[in-house]
Structure 1
């Protein structure tokens, strides 16, 4: 007999249309399980209704509390797996934060829905059923937090919301899903090799790490404003394989001189960064020589969460650089 914790946090999966025809938060863990209509005599559930809000409203402190709730379910309720239901707008961030911080030896699955249960062909019930199946599979333990969506199993580190409304929105763009659910079974293809883990510092919710994009004509104004606002770190979303406009360089230099860690990623989602190919001002070679740290394949939102954790643990610049680059560069 497997015992699975069902933790609800709101989002589209928990929404139903009211008299106005607009969807809003309505369902908690118990109602979601009733919606899924899981008829299994070998699985029991611990229902935990944490919050019921749209996922754009979630704050860092909410993620800290969710992490603690998952660990409480495992250590005190003795569950064999955990399913977290969540809104899709920020699902990839919550899943990755949990992947970096949760310390349990049972499967942890995050899922949601693109269509609320008032709509025809809602994906809510199927995603819950699939997620429960994965969370009750021993092979899903100790490989990090997983996202189960559209019957695919995706590592939290890799998952990206790719489409605004499609029910197959979540993808691991570079490396693909690691398994899928079919005919009531989990079919596994591989295990992820990269899995980082960090403690959460007490000041994490007060740290400031903005994300600054690159575009034609971008300059140093946003960076200088961030410096004046006493930010603790910066995430820069550059071009291509690691480039930024030359007019951003003065601002980046000012941040580096103030020992503000700068993590670079690219708005191009597939592929790896270059390191020693181009030499122009703002190129990847130029930025690395300046002291910019490369975030490699992670999206800006995930880089921000990881940097917040590192800063909350008082990592030095050298330790931060190692944490982001050691899997990719010598």
Structure 2
């Protein structure tokens, strides 16, 4: 639905707002929960129509923790398709924060255009006396309409902080600035302007394709063996993301399990459970080098959840072909040094 005065719309960038539900739309009354529409949320941002010529669509009405891969695909695909329209200057996605970073990253893998796609959400529900939703919506529209945000891909904007999708991660369950790390910030909303601090390195976009494969995430803890890796393969996983210790290390039985499942055709990506630093080359038993020798593919500093989205998208693009999938991922991720 289009909003605002058509005469004003001519002079403002056109921004498409996609509402999907989440805390930003949630109203609680005792034990009852309801979700506001996108139009209702925009009505709480009086200056929204001054920032851009807006059109709004309700894509989903779900808390993000209840979204399956079909819904994840729908949101990412629709955001990319809307951004590709010639009459659109930017896209804003109103989304639950629980899995926001994963959906934003998938959209970033698929988005090759110049127009920004900006994901935002809220930590406090709609109707909260000091809710953060209206300000986040306002900031996201401002960024999506900004010329400064062109050619930066998909962004996450909460609390005035703007982070590239590939670097965003929810690190706090209650803070009004839940995404970080601060070192990854590409810019900041200050007053009525988006101040861009640094450039964003972009990858070549992959074609949008249905997410039809199973990919499991296995996170290691002290004393973990290879049982969960083998169980994932036995359950039919086409791919497994292993979130290992440190720079990509694990107990020997985990390495043996990875060797077993890669020989059976399952693709294994190696990520680190550490927040910073990622996987890098080390010699010795149970090291990243050992994993590489048995067929695992290291994904640098991507966390496990994003590595899973990377593998899902790569499998979709290749039609499930293991070798083509490996090559696509290796082309996007640096070899551990």
Same structural fold, with TM-score higher than 0.5 when normalized by the shorter chain: yes
Q: 2:193 aligns with which of 185, 188, 194?
A: 185
Task: Find the counterpart in structure 1 of residue 38 from structure 2.
Answer: 29
Q: 2:311 aligns with which of 307, 312, 319?
A: 307
Q: 1:278: how far off?
A: 3.5
Looking at structure 2, the residues matched to 297 and 186 of structure 1 have their Cα atoms a distance apart, in angstroms, of 27
Task: Find the counterpart in structure 1 of residue 164 from structure 2.
Answer: 155
**TM-score, with structure 2 as normaliser:** 0.89
**Secondary structure at 1:297 match in 2:** coil
Q: 1:256: how far off?
A: 1.6
Which sits farther off after the overlay, 40-49 or 122-131? 40-49
> Where in structure 2 are the equivalents of 1:240-319 lying within 5 Å?
240-275=246-281, 277-279=282-284, 281-314=285-318, 315-317=321-323
Looking at structure 1, the residues matched to 199 and 112 of structure 2 have their Cα atoms a distance apart, in angstroms, of 18
- On the 8 A contact 2:170/2:180 being kept in 1, the answer is yes
- On the 8 A contact 1:81/1:108 being kept in 2, the answer is yes
What is the aligned length? Answer: 323
- Does residue 197 (structure 1) correspond to residue 205 (structure 2)? The answer is yes
Task: Find the counterpart in structure 2 of residue 213 from structure 1.
Answer: 219
**Secondary structure at 2:230 match in 1:** helix
Task: Give 5+ residue unaligned stretches, structure 1.
Answer: none
Q: 1:137: how far off?
A: 0.5
Task: Find the counterpart in structure 1 of residue 64 from structure 2.
Answer: 55
Looking at structure 1, the residues matched to 50 and 289 of structure 2 have their Cα atoms a distance apart, in angstroms, of 59
Task: Find the counterpart in structure 2 of residue 100 from structure 1.
Answer: 109
Q: 1:269: how far off?
A: 1.1
CA RMSD, 1 decimal = 2.1
Looking at structure 2, the residues matched to 58 and 75 of structure 1 have their Cα atoms a distance apart, in angstroms, of 24
Looking at structure 2, the residues matched to 195 and 319 of structure 1 have their Cα atoms a distance apart, in angstroms, of 16
Q: 1:143: how far off?
A: 1.5
Tell me the alpha carbon deviations over residues 114-168 of structure 1, each in whole angstroms, 9 at most, x when there is no partner: 0112323211011011101000002212221011111011000100000011111
- On the 8 A contact 1:10/1:25 being kept in 2, the answer is no
> Structure 1 residues 15, 78: closer, same or farther in 2, change over 3 A?
same
- Does residue 225 (structure 1) correspond to residue 231 (structure 2)? The answer is yes
> Structure 1 residues 143, 42: closer, same or farther in 2, change over 3 A?
closer
- On the 8 A contact 1:25/1:52 being kept in 2, the answer is no
Task: Give 5+ residue unaligned stretches, structure 2.
Answer: 1-11
